[in-house]
Chains A and B, each alone.
Chain A
Amino acid sequence: MVIDFNTLYNFPSRLDRVFEEFLRSPMGDDRRLAYPPLNLSNDEENIYVRAEVPGVTIDDVELTLTDKTLVIKGERTAPEGKFYRQERPSGVFHRVINIGVPVDREKVTAAMKDGVLTVILPKSEEVKPRTISIDVA
């Protein structure tokens, strides 16, 4: 005997989906669970870590590089005054990023532009992809 469950479960109908789309918050606040948002990327030479921290100068951010992790820590302060609306986050933020490959610790650089912090970690020599030549005996 085969039971067709299709009629028992109430899948969202097309009308429900239209309303869901309409009421979805335009701020896209479900796009991240931890603050600040990070972009992690790499190419053959380096690992790039970017964090969105507007309103913070590079001196206010603490970057700690251990053997296998990079820690980004800092604080955002809210301005003084009588608030009518407060949406910007404030307080201490702390993010830990695991780095799977060994990096050249001496050559790590960090820069801040328009509130985006970019940390460039060069991969150490042993890890860079290398072609192996094959000798035909």
Chain B
Amino acid sequence: MSEVVKKEERKELTRFRPATDILEREDGFHIFMDMPGVSKEDMSIDLEEDELTVTGRSTQCPVPGEKFVEMQFGECEYIRSVSISDIVDRERIKASVENGVLELFLPKLEKVQPKRISIEAQ
């Protein structure tokens, strides 16, 4: 019975936090995440309140009959959460993937122009 349980557990992949660079430029914040082996379809980005969570599953394409001599990376699940500050414009957040690197662009909110409020006569 314990052997059956062991087989189910093996499907869970190891979770890693991807190496992340967070930098600020004039136009906004940029976040680069290293997720090699993850294609665009296997990645998902969720924004919840003030937290941005990125998850991805890497795939290996093993050839049948292949025997490994040395394995230094394997299939894993990448997951990382980043908190977003209030000056980020949530509507204009952009994401792009190139060569296994996810780039998130978080623009800053444009300063709201001072408004004159008109007074209605009663």
Contact = CB atoms under 8 A, between A and B. Distances in A.
B118 interface: no
A38 B70 CA distance: 8
A81 B22 CA distance: 9
Given A28-B16, A116-B37, A39 B65 contact: no
Nearest to A87: B19
Interface in B9-66: 14-17, 19-25, 30, 32, 34-39, 60, 62-63, 65-66
Given A28-B16, A83-B21, A83-B23, A116 B36 contact: yes
Interface string A82-124: 1111111100000000000000000000001111100000000
B32 A41 contact: no
B99 A52 contact: no
A54 B101 contact: yes
B55 to A, nearest CB: 14
Contacts of A42: 66-67, 69
A54 B43 CA distance: 15
Nearest to A53: B36
Interface in B89-110: 98-101
B24 A82 contact: yes
Closest 10 CB pairs of A and B: A115-B100, A54-B100, A81-B23, A115-B36, A37-B72, A87-B19, A54-B36, A37-B73, A85-B22, A41-B68
15 contacts: A26-B15, A39-B60, A39-B68, A40-B70, A42-B67, A42-B69, A44-B65, A48-B66, A55-B32, A85-B20, A86-B23, A114-B36, A114-B100, A115-B37, A116-B100
